[in-house]
Chain A
């Protein structure tokens, strides 16, 4: 469903992605690991259409469409979702209102009818339960004054509500306590289905104990330098990145 071929991208004059290839099939879970600064978030941002990156070569297709030609919201309408490494605060914008507007914007773009307030609340209650999220967070402005862990859980809650086809989770596990980690993982697992693919960007093998990936990739120096199964993550945990011939930190 997602096919990245020879992707090169720059921030300003600095090339970060240097010919990256990645194939993700329907229903698959891929973990991407790699040293700090290797370009994991950059990849996530380029895929979701953030400004400030110049793609100089390569292609990205999503469900057969040229993803790079689309605006960020159009990518969301197609079913792409990014859980941010650093979720953004929107002071004054009510969390529930925001989610409802987002969900209905996506539905409208797909030619589906708007969810009314009642149907929306029902859906929200149901998804809240899965994530054991305190519903007081929903009455507050989006991410505003949320703790680090609350922000991450809110991202996963949004994902649960928007039901994407491909979710990119950028270090959602960082900053979560042990219980929260399990809850988030349960949430992701609950949403797992043959139609939904996930990219997990993480530094820790621990997350992969809860969410079993189909593939593990190592991103370093702007390329996928190694791909394998679950065992690759265990190997990395044991040996570090040095074993692959790269420094711990780029």
Chain B
């Protein structure tokens, strides 16, 4: 088997999480106007300030047009054809796991998220978001003992309005971009984390998102605040059922790290990528930004992006505090007709700030991807340093990888380094592995995993294993 025939098989491999959950849901009809924004806010029983926030964002959004500058191709999105709210039907929010619809729990089990087991065994707190509502939050009590708040953002709006007023939109204002404005207007749920001063969060926090209903957009909102000297590690995982239509996912994630605080944010994104002909799949247009507000604070983004029809996102760091540190570790896989335009922005504002970028792009089939990265060193950022490593691995001859680095240096004492490589899995490598008894599939996954090692190292142990598996699955079927 040659690399190209291996790729043929890879491209036709099936999406594992494509089942649909039959569950009654409360869904708003498609369309977006002020009434819809009000309806969302009303359904969530939100206080006045939230409604005002949403309406401001909505009015601003109406003045904007959808951006087209990314190296991705898709027909214009009809924002009036999307439903902006969908929730599993139930009276109130669940109080415990027993109250959750068994069909829902089964969905999570199929996805391999052991909610119950996790409660007993693994010490990972899970906040599961099903369509637009957070349905299960475990480990709340244990976290509360440490003073950590970990809840649905819709609950935080009620229970911690001061924190929400102070921080929501403080990193990604609703004026930031088209999709950020849209999200601010219609976000339905998401996760809120608050780690008080000096607290090391006693467990990994994790959220699994899943888009189930047809024609719904998912607009979740995540806000994580790490007070001075605190530490938190957070992981999100994403899957969605197979649908012929495209679905929009426009999330906003805001991270805030005060003096000496550290936030590790890891994403394993496996949204439905669409079929081999490019029908269906998620449009993953996300704004993620971390604000290293305090001195010596640190924010690391680690992402493994294997899914979505189109991925368009740049998890970024604003390095405002002196000696603060930003990191971005990324693996992005595009196969079939998938497209990705992803990278990061490291904005150095404080003195002696440093940032590290490691981007690993894997393109197979007719996958197309672009690494787009900005390193900006402001006038006052004396002694700032950046190291960027940007590698692409091509599998087959019909895929493409582009690298678009922007470097702006306004301070002469700054140091920036950029390294880029492009390599291919060759027929020789495939044959060498096979002659040792490995299947072509094993060979491809072994080489790809080797290529991504630097990034996987950054993931929490159990998720590194999961990410590796996911990568193997997403490149599965290599034996024809």
Q: Shortest Cβ distance from B85 into chain A, in angstroms?
A: 45
Tell whether, in the assembled complex, residue B446 and residue A84 are in contact, meaning their CB atoms are under 8 Å apart.
Answer: no
| Cβ-defined partner of B431 (8 Å) among A51, A93, A97 | A51
Name B434's contact: one of A73, A101, A103 (CB within 8 Å): A73
Contact with A along B431-454 (1 / 0, CB 8 A): 111111111101000110111010
Whether A51 touches B446, Cβ cut-off 8 Å, given contacts A73-B438, A76-B435, A158-B436, is: no
Q: Which residues of B contact A72 (CB under 8 A)?
A: 431, 434-435
Residues of the A chain whose Cβ atoms lie less than 8 Å from the Cβ of B431: 50-51, 72, 88
Of the candidate stretches B72-80, B162-170, B283-291, B421-429, the one touching chain A is B421-429
Number of chain A interface residues as a range: 20 to 34
What separation, in Å, do the CA atoms of A51 and B435 have in the docked complex? 11
B21 at the interface (CB under 8 A from A): no
A109 at the interface (CB under 8 A from B): yes
**Which of B1, B428, B437, B449 is within 8 Å of A88, CB to CB?**
B428
Tell me which of B428, B436, B438, B453 contacts A92 (CB under 8 A).
B453
Pick from A48, A141, A162: contact of B450, CB under 8 Å: A141
1/0 contact string of A73-90 vs chain B (CB within 8 Å): 101110001101001111
Shortest distance between the CB of B26 and any CB in chain A (Å): 48
CB distance from B1 to the nearest CB of A (A): 7
In the complex, what distance in Å separates the CA atom of A219 from the CA atom of B2?
A: 29
Q: CB within 8 A of A106: which of B426, B433, B437, B450?
A: B437
Residues on the A chain within 8 Å of B433, using CB: 90, 98, 102
Asked if A73 and B437 sit within 8 Å, CB to CB, the answer is yes
Bits for A89-125, please: 1 = Cβ < 8 Å to B, else 0.
1111110011001110110010000000000000000
In the assembled complex, 23 residue pairs joining A and B whose CB atoms fall closer than 8 Å, in A order, are: A49-B434, A49-B435, A50-B431, A51-B1, A51-B427, A52-B427, A71-B434, A73-B435, A73-B436, A73-B439, A75-B435, A76-B435, A76-B437, A82-B435, A88-B426, A88-B432, A89-B429, A90-B432, A91-B450, A91-B451, A92-B450, A101-B442, A106-B437
Q: What 17 additional pairs, Cβ within 8 angstroms, besides A71-B434, A82-B435, A92-B451? A: A50-B435, A73-B434, A76-B436, A81-B435, A84-B432, A87-B432, A89-B429, A90-B433, A90-B450, A91-B423, A91-B451, A93-B450, A98-B433, A101-B442, A102-B433, A105-B437, A105-B439
Give me the interface of B with A, judged by CB distance under 8 Å: 1-2, 423, 426-429, 431-440, 442, 446-447, 449-451, 453
- Show the binding face of A for B, using Cβ within 8 Å: 48-52, 71-73, 75-77, 81-82, 84, 87-94, 97-98, 101-103, 105-106, 109, 141, 158, 162
